[in-house]
Amino acid sequence: MSDDLPSIRLKPKMDPRRIRFGYPWVYDNELVMDRRTKAIAPGSLAVLEDAGREPMALVAVTPGSRIAGRVLDAPGVTALDQGWFRARLARALALRERLFDQPFYRLVHAEADGFPGVIIDRFGDACVIQPNAAWAETHLEVLVAALVEVTGVTCVLKSAGGRARVLEGLDDKDAVLVGTAPGAPVPVQMNGATYMADLTGGQKTGLFYDQRPNHAFAARLAQGARVLDVFSHVGGFGLACLAGGATSALAVDGSDPALSLARDGAEAAGLSDRFETRKGDAFDVLTELGEAGERFDVVICDPPAFAPSKKALDAGLRAYERVARLAAPLVAEGGYLGLCSCSHAADLEKFRTACIRGIGRGLHGTGRGSQLIHTGYAGPDHPMHPQLAESGYLKALFFRL
């Protein structure tokens, strides 16, 4: 242990075993928050000690955050040099290269890849990084240098729009860190479809890789089907279903730029003649389609996080139930309904309960029932930290009605 690093200490009544067995977060109410600890600069490294002053881990400290400490390594490690980042990035890259033939994937999935609060998505020769924790912002230069060294990418962009950055006291300024930003959206091939990723003006990093396996499952259901893709973003489920043999797909989203990218993706894959878009509030459009008596063989709803925190959980679950209630009547007899959640605060059981309740309300009086046929999660380039439920945020439920 280095004398250069400050130490932070668990309160006497706090059981250290959770941290010793691999839990990656230390909450502010678990620590002795004395004047010295509160004075540690956000993003600084420190040694976490148990109540008996036995070193437990190297942590990154943000005293003003609910997550006051993020476990980075064993207590004998005293600095994060380029070699430290290089080793972890190489390990992350080895998994993705085993999984995917082309360099389009999530390269770093935060805690599960040993980079607490850090997201890195790869788009060929470009990477988009979200340093959502203060320690990553502090070490950004060396992290980026190691990223270029390990992957050979020629462009690295910083996306600073994450909600977590506000909680860490960080700015919201995007930046080009290496090379030149792409002058046009980057085409990404997944499941036979082409998606246009806007790396500078799109949501998050420009594209959501996490739904890749769920897109593939939906496409299996969509052969010869009429598809409705609600909260479609750049055409995620709709384009995958068309590539899988759907006869038509209608993509609904509230964003003109997202729908424009969806249309460009359809054109790039030669699917434009079977693809339509409709701009509008999803709840309004679902209501209007229901009132018009529209029916689809496959309906998929992939909304944003309605429950991004525990405080928003009840309202979020009501919103998920409402989506299911409005969507279920739009599904033709014997058709399929896919309902998704990216809210980590709404666990699988709560989300499933809300969906089933909504379907029941939506089909009430029709004599129809439902079967839950598949539960999907994020793809393997979004590994789950075994002790951090939040890292397994994505749920996709598929019903036959």
Catalytic residue numbers, as ranges: 342
Pairing, β 25-27 against β 67-73: antiparallel
Lookup result for tokens 């390269």: 107
Contact predicate 129/118, CB 8 Å:
yes
- Residue 219 tokens read as 């496409």
Give CA–CA dist 374/209, Å, rounded.
19
C-alpha distances in Å from residue 308, one per residue of 157, 314, 373, 393: 25, 11, 27, 10
What is the SS3 assignment for 329-380? HHEEEEEEEEEEECCCCCCHHHHHHHHHHHHHHHCCCCCCCCEEEEEECCCC
Quickly count: other Cβ atoms within 10 Å of residue 388's Cβ.
Answer: 17
Lookup result for tokens 């499952």: 217
Quickly count: other Cβ atoms within 10 Å of residue 366's Cβ.
Answer: 11
Give CA–CA dist 162/308, Å, rounded.
12
Give CA–CA dist 74/55, Å, rounded.
9
Give CA–CA dist 54/43, Å, rounded.
22
Give CA–CA dist 81/146, Å, rounded.
9
Give CA 206 to chain center in angstroms.
12
